[in-house]
Amino acid sequence: MSDEAGSATAPGRNSDGAAGAARAPALELRAIDKRFGAVHANRAISFAVAAGSIHGLIGENGAGKSTLMNIIYGFHRADAGEILVHGRKVDITSPQGAIAAGIGMVHQHFMLVENFTVLENVVLGVEGGALLAGGLTAARRELEKLARDYGLEVPLDSMISELSVGLQQRVEILKALYRRAEILILDEPTAVLTPQEADQLFKMLGRLREQGKAIILVTHKLREIMAITDRVTVMRQGAVVAEVMTKKTSPRGLAEKMVGRAVLLQVDKCPATPGVALLSVTDLEVRDRLGVPRVKGVSFELRAGEIVGVAGVAGNGQSELLEALAGIREPSRGEIRLGGRELVREQLDARARRALGLAHVPEDRLRMGVVASFSAEANAMLGYHDRPRYGRGLFLDGAASLAGCEAKMKEFDVRPAQPALRISAFSGGNQQKLVLAREIDADPSVLLIGQPTRGVDIGAIEFIHRRLIALRDAGKALLVVSVELDEILGLADRILVMNGGEIIGELARAEATEEKIGLMMAGVRGEGGA
Amino acid sequence: METYTLIVLLLAATIRVATPLLLAAIAGLFSERAGVIDLGLEGKMLGAAFAAAAVSATTGSVWFGLGAGIATAVFLALLIGFACITHKGNQVVAGMAVTIMVVGLGPTLGLAWFGLGGQTPQLDGAGQRFTGIAWPGAAAAKEMPFPGLLYSELLSGQNLIVYFAAALVPLSAWIFYRTRFGLRLRAVGENPHAVDTAGISVNGLRYQAVIISGVLCGVAGTYLSTAASSGFVRDMTAGKGYLALAALIFGKWKPVPTLGACLLFAFTDALATRLQGVALPVVGVIPVQFILALPYVLTVLLLAGFVGKAVAPRAIGVPYSKEK
């Protein structure tokens, strides 16, 4: 790893070739190895991160990135290997130890207490004395200074629950800096941000790099790696498969290394030829349990032979819209027309809607799409188990359900092809393929899909996207809700952007750019908006 | 002046009933704010009541009794903690199991040791009970009913545990909101993951909370058998542990509102006792059973409708594990 050390330079400079004084890297991992039972989660992982640099760590779900980060942060202990901080070997057995070693972590799911103030969250664990009053005053002073130095302004006395996701993330970064972290790990930091918020985050990370911090960015988004990192380590199946300088690689090259074979990042498709409207929604309003409107008077049409994408930051009403359309949630107002029927007034439930040719792949696969403890076979007919092909009267036809599952597994390349295996033992991608197979098998005219590729590896994403486009070409109407902008841009023929429960704008694919959509996601109305 | 005296006596009774309720409710507050459901309140109190009476009767000192009561309740609390915190068991089941065990164990041990049908011997010796402490001038104050009676009957003449319970409310509020321990305790009941990543032991904090709950239940149980009455009788908690839990929910897991809830429950209880056999205008004499049910009916009504939305600590009832 000596070539790594060579690239470490004085803080504020990150030119790769500069022969700086041979300073030890801020963080170095040597042959980290970890097993969980039969699973070899990390295989002899080694890499080093220089102070004043941003190091990308990329890999598919299950590649072992999270395990590795949890080892660095003291949640797990490595079976073998060493961690060095600024050239000194450290033994990290708990988050306390990691903090003491100057390591801070921003978790994907924020580790914040929602009904505490920002200030209380920051001092939790480093209160500076048995009584709060003195510590809080000192912390306030220090945080105001940090905010000035790094441009991390946050209202210190606001409750976390009142803050936007972007600000909450800022609090997490402040927490790390307040604990004097020199090494900052960010785990999928942009998953919950609008593109503009992500840009802001990257600017902030750039400033931290200038200040000499070492930053590890864990992500599966190639675009982010290319945009901000200095070096990138690629992991696959628990091992490091490549470590390269970012400027000497390309998104395609990285994707191939992640998957281990050539992949198409963008599925080719011909322009859509939309036909008649199959589903039309008029002035739909959906309220949550507390009576707060989540979808506010939404109207649109879904035509045969087109894919309509719904973009938006998570929590802007897309989920509620999808559930109302699928018949899981009752709207408080409005009309949904499908196949000559009006679904809301007739109070047709999810099953009746299925019978009318509406299929639904829910956003939260494990909670709503499958029964996690059931076999693949049972899950492959869930919701359609009362159809004649699966049995008569009170009895299920075991042979038919097995045959049905086997056929679906074959057609959708579900691995392992074992109908008796519990669905939770399959990877996310294979679960999703089976759910998709189940819904498509019923030959619906309208297909609603929430987060088609959440928790799905790149290889399977390509497969799923191909199938969805094939369905469109077969004259079906598809509504795709996704928080992944790349996915919306790759699939949709027409894009609806939701913000605060409204469709704030509509764009044809040809005129849609990431920037335009991003602005709408943030609440800025497009000129051609609704 | 008859009504005035009646009201003062009613308030005095309220204080007596409220004391064990408040102690148990604050005990539950510590446990639940840390994320551990405290259905064992009833069992811990009952166990402490038995141990305190038994030891006080045997040794002749109520202070040894108090020690035994606290030790017993802490032991039971640790049992629940071991099941729910260390082994991530179901908190409701563990609490209920401890309660059911104590309901049977107390009288059984009592029968074996004292042969009095499951009771403990009458505590009538000097120093075997907590008795009222007369404040200076209390007797003189009685001569002048207003405000003297308030002083002599309410402020003066209570036993130590009552004063302790009263002091506990501001004390616990201070601990929860002004100390490092309180901040961490509240955090661990809301989001233990945040506490863990901050480098603080989740289990350590929860054990501390559960032990505090044990100590306070010990005091509450001791009050029942050595202050409110003179000896242990079968099922003497009579659902006070559950009532305390209701008060704590009604008080939205906050010390001062919880005190209010305890006083309200205690007042209806005292009122119910007063109303027995009294002919009221219009309705006449109300059946005793109905009157005795009043506090519980009130509880159900309050919890069902009038509380508004009580927001429980978010992580309550969920054993902590690092994986989500």
- Residue B48: the pLDDT is 97
Residue A130 with chain B: CB contacts under 8 Å: 179-181
Range of the domain at A33: 1-102+182-259
**Domain co-membership, A239 together with A333:** no
Residue B85 DSSP SS3: helix
Tell whether B252 lies on the interface with A, counting CB pairs under 8 A: no
pLDDT of residue A140: 94
Quick one: A457 and A477 in the same domain?
yes
Using CB atoms, pick whichever of A105, A129, A131 lies closest to residue B197: A105
CA-based nearest residue in chain A for residue B321: A75
Q: What confidence score (pLDDT) does residue A428 get? A: 81
Interchain pair A112, B194: CB under 8 A: yes
- C-alpha B155, offset from chain centre: 20
Claim to verify: residue A251 and residue A270 sit in the same structural domain: no
Mutation for testing the B interface, residue in A67, A99, A124, A137 having most B CBs under 10 Å: A124
Asked whether the beta carbons of residue A131 and residue B193 sit closer than 8 angstroms, the reply is no
Asked if the structure places residue A367 within a domain, the reply is no
- Closest CB to A99 among B187, B195, B199: B199
| Predicted pLDDT at A324 | 95
Shortest CA gap A136–chain B (Å): 10
Q: Do B190 and A133 touch (CB under 8 A)?
A: no
DSSP H or E stretch at residue A299: strand A293-303
Residues in chain B with CB shorter than 8 Å from the CB of A75 are 196, 322
Position A362 in a domain: no
Q: Which residue of B has its CA nearest to A176?
A: B198
Partner A contacted by B190 (CB < 8 A): yes
Contacts of A125 in chain B (CB under 8 A): 184, 195, 198-200
- With residue A97 as reference, give the H or E element that holds it: helix A95-100
Q: What is the rounded CA–CA span in Å between residue A232 and residue A55?
A: 6
Which chain B residue lies closest to A178 (C-alpha atoms)?
B198
CB contact under 8 A, B324 and A109: yes
Distance from CA of A475 to the nearest CA of B (A): 41
Q: Report yes or no on A214 lying in a domain.
A: yes
Q: Among A421, A443, A465, where does a domain finish?
A: A443
CA of A119: which chain B residue's CA is closest? B183
Q: What's residue B71's pLDDT?
A: 98
Residues A200 and A217 in one domain: yes
Q: Is residue A110 situated within a structural domain?
A: no
Residues near A43 by Cβ (< 8 Å), separated by ≥ 6? A33, A64, A237, A238, A239
Same domain, A61 and A170: no
User: CA of A116 to nearest chain B CA: how many angstroms apart?
Assistant: 8
What's the CATH number where A269 sits? 3.40.50.300
For A353-356, which contacts have Cβ atoms below 8 Å and span 24 or more sequence positions? Answer: A353/A326, A353/A327, A354/A383, A354/A384, A354/A442, A354/A444
A7, A64: one domain: yes
Give the tokens for residue A378: 């049972």
A32-61, pLDDT tens digit by residue? Answer: 999 988 778 899 999 999 999 999 999 887
Q: What is the largest CA-CA distance in chain B?
A: 68
Cβ atoms within 10 Å, residue A206: 14
At A1, the pLDDT band (50, 70, 90 cuts) reads very low
Q: Are residue A187 and residue A57 in the same domain, yes or no?
A: yes
Contacts 24+ apart (CB under 8 A), A326-331: A326/A350, A326/A353, A326/A358, A326/A360, A326/A362, A326/A448, A327/A351, A327/A352, A327/A353, A327/A358, A328/A368, A329/A286, A331/A284, A331/A285, A331/A286, A331/A295
Whether residue A13 is found in the same domain as residue A92: yes
Residue A95 has its nearest CB partner, among B179, B199, B314, at: B199
- B312–A contact, CB cutoff 8 A: no
- Which pTM does this prediction carry? 0.80
How far does the CA of residue B7 sit from the closest CA of chain A (Å)? Answer: 41
A143 and A35 inside one domain: no
Record: contact A121-B178, CB cut-off 8 A: no
Closest approach of chain A CAs to the CA of B206, in angstroms? 15
A19 and A127 share a domain?
no
Helix spans in B60-201 (H): 62-81, 91-114, 138-141, 145-149, 160-178, 180-190, 192-197
- Pairwise CB contact (< 8 Å): B191 & A120: no
In a domain, A435, yes or no: yes
- Three-state SS for A137? helix
Digitized pLDDT (tens) for each residue of chain B, 324 residues in all: 578 888 888 999 999 999 999 999 999 999 999 999 999 999 999 999 999 999 999 999 999 999 999 999 999 999 999 999 999 999 999 999 999 999 999 999 999 999 888 889 999 888 899 988 888 888 788 777 777 778 888 888 899 999 999 999 999 999 999 999 999 999 999 999 999 999 999 999 999 999 999 999 999 999 999 999 999 999 999 899 999 999 998 899 999 999 999 999 899 888 888 887 777 777 777 787 887 787 778 778 877 766 666 788 999 988 998 764
CA A241 – CA A43 distance, rounded (Å): 11
Indicate which of B171, B180, B186, B316 best probes the interface with A, i.e. most A CBs within 10 Å of its own CB: B180
CA distance A170 to chain B (A): 15
pLDDT band for A14, please (50, 70, 90 cuts): very low
The mean per-residue pLDDT over the stretch A241-248 comes to 93
With CB atoms and an 8 Å threshold, state whether B194 touches A105.
Answer: no
Same-domain pairing of A190 and A291: no
Confidence of residue A526 (pLDDT cuts 50, 70, 90): low
* pLDDT grade for A527, boundaries at 50, 70 and 90: low
Name which of A96, A107, A131 is nearest B199 (Cβ-Cβ): A96
Is residue A352 classed exposed, middle or buried when 0-12, 13-18 and 19+ CB atoms within 10 A define those classes?
A: middle
Q: Tell me the chain B residues in contact with residue A106 when contact means C-beta distances shorter than 8 Å.
A: none
Nearest to B197 among A95, A114, A115 (CB): A95
Is there a domain that residue A108 lies in? no
Which one of A113, A168, A178, A290 makes the best mutation probe of the B interface by having the most chain B beta carbons within 10 Å?
A113
* Chain A interface includes B183 (CB < 8 A): yes
Question: Given this model, what pLDDT does residue B224 score?
Answer: 96
Average pLDDT of the residues in A176-187: 94
Count CB-CB contacts under 10 A for residue A345: 10
Q: Is A239 exposed, middle or buried (0-12, 13-18, 19+ CB in 10 A)?
A: middle
Q: How many domains does chain A have?
A: 4
Chain pair A-B, CB pairs under 8 angstroms: 74
**In B, which residues are within 8 Å of A94 by CB distance?**
199
Angle (deg, nearest 10), helices A458-473 and A428-441: 10
Please compute the mean of the pLDDT values over residues A389-402 and round it to a whole number.
89
Q: Classify residue A363: in a domain, yes or no.
A: no
User: 3-class SS at A110?
Assistant: coil
pLDDT of residue A11: 41
Dist. CA B6–CA A303, nearest whole Å? 79
A5 and A97, same domain (yes or no): yes
Looking at A180, A203, A237, the residue that finishes a domain is: A180
Closest Cβ–Cβ partner in A111, A121, A132 for B178? A132
On average, the pLDDT of chain A sits at 88
B183 closest CB neighbour out of A97, A98, A127: A127
Position A129 in a domain: yes
Contact A129 B180 (CB under 8 A): yes
Q: Tokens 């190639």 correspond to what residue?
A: A222
Q: Within an 8 Å CB–CB cutoff, is residue B323 touching chain A?
A: no
Domain boundary among A259, A275, A297: A259
